[in-house]
Structures are given as C-alpha cells and as structure tokens.
Amino acid sequence: MIHKLADVQSIHVGEGTNFWQFCVVLPKAIIGNDCNICSHCLIENDVQIGNKVTIKSGVQLWDGITVEDFVFIGPNVTFTNDKSPRSKEYPEAFLQTIIKNNASIGANATILPGITIGEYAMIGAGAVVTKNVRAHATVVGNPAKEIKK
C-alpha cells in the first residue's frame, strides 16, 4: 500500500510493504517485503532496507545506510552520514552505517555515521550512539554506554 500522499519513486519495493502519508522514497532505494514505513519519512537512493522492518514517523535514512531484517526504528530517530558536513561540500563516499537483524532503536536516538549496530541490540530512547554496538547489547545515554541486562 502506498498512501496517495506519499512519493515513492523506487520500483525496488517488496510485496506487502506499506508507505504512509508524506513519505519520500528516492528511485534507487531498495526496500524488502512486509515493511511498514510510517508518515513523514525520507529514504535516499543509497539505502537498503531488509524484510519486516518498521520505521516509525519522522525518520530520515540517508545515503550509505543499510537496515537488515526485523529491525525496529522508533519515531524521530536521527541518522547521519557525514562526520564533517558543510553546505554544498560532499565527501567522495558517505560513511556506511549498518543496522543488523532484529536490532531496535528507541525514539529520538541519534546514530552517528559509520556505526554498526549488532544483531538484537537495543538502543535506548534518546541515546547518542558514537561507536559500534555489539550484538545483544543494550545501550543508553549520551554518549551511549552499555548497561547490564
């Protein structure tokens, strides 16, 4: 389902994926099956999204981001892809950010560029992730630090 107020330009979208109002998806983005992309999301060209991913409202996925299967991205999570951004100055290649299978990212978390978030990792709401997160870890705070389960 593509809401009539969404602008989905990509033809690389799997079956059963839903796009809600005011989503913008650029032509080269690749999105898997059975995803739910909530309202007010932006997905750039060099983005890959796996199967059964939930992306809540207000999330922008910039060039260089890969989201694997069964990932949850909470509302207003902020991704970045350039450590030293300047207006009208672009790097030769954007840093690659990878969100591994079954990871969950809480609302309003910020993910710096070039980060890998491991399988089943849990990122707490509002966390600022400045370095890789290992599989099954839970991180919270600014900067994000691992806590015991």
Q: How confident is the model at residue 1 (pLDDT cuts 50, 70, 90)?
A: confident
Cβ proximity of 73 and 54 under 8 Å: yes
The DSSP-derived string for 52-94 is S-EE-TT-EE-TTEEE-TT-EE-TT-EE---SS-BTTB--SSP
Domain harbouring 114, CATH code: 2.160.10.10
The tens digit of pLDDT for each residue in 31-55 reads: 999 999 999 999 999 999 999 999 9
Report the alpha-carbon distance of residue 135 to residue 5 in Å, rounded: 37
Q: What is the mean pLDDT of the chain?
A: 94
Place of tokens 């849990």: 122
Query: What's this model's pTM, rounded to 2 decimal places?
Result: 0.92
* Domain extent at residue 80: 1-149
Q: Residue 121 CA to chain centroid, in angstroms?
A: 14
Which of 99, 59, 54, 53 has its CA nearest to residue 76?
A: 59
Q: How many domains does one find in the chain?
A: 1
